[in-house]
Amino acid sequence: MKLEGQVALVTGASRGIGREIAMALADEGARVAVNYRARPDAAAEVVEAIETAGGKAVAVPGDVADPQEAAAAVARAQAELGGLHVLVNNAGIARDGLIYNLTAEDWLEVMRVNFGGVFNCTRAAMGHFMAQRAGAIVNVSSVMGERGWVGESNYAASKGAINAFTRCAALELAKFDVRVNAVLPGFTPTELVAGLLAKDGGRSIKQQIPLREFATARQVARVVAFLAGPDAAYLTGELVRVDGGAAAALVLGRPK
Provide block-wise average pLDDT over 10 residues at a time, the chain (256 residues): 96 96 98 96 98 98 98 98 98 94 96 98 98 98 89 95 98 98 86 62 70 85 98 98 81 50
- What is residue 49's predicted lDDT score, i.e. its pLDDT? 98
State the pLDDT at residue 234: 98
- pTM score over 0.75: yes
Give pLDDT, residue 255: 44
Mention every residue, 6+ apart, whose C-beta is less than 8 A from residue 163: 141, 145, 146, 182, 184, 239
Catalytic residue among 36, 100, 155, 234: 155
Number of neighbouring beta carbons within 10 Å of residue 100: 5
Q: Could you give the 3-state DSSP secondary structure of residue 97? A: coil
Whether residue 155 lies in the annotated active site: yes
Give the pLDDT of residue 111.
97
Task: Show the CA angle centred on residue 126, arms to residues 157 and 160, nearest 5°.
Answer: 10
How many CA atoms within 13 Å lie on the side-chain side of 232?
27
Residues 76, 238: Cα–Cα separation, whole Å: 29
User: How many Å separate Cα 67 from the centre of its chain?
Assistant: 18
The pLDDT value given to residue 214: 81
Predicted pLDDT of residue 124: 98
Is 7-187+217-244 assigned to CATH 1.10.150.120?
no
3-state secondary structure of 136: strand
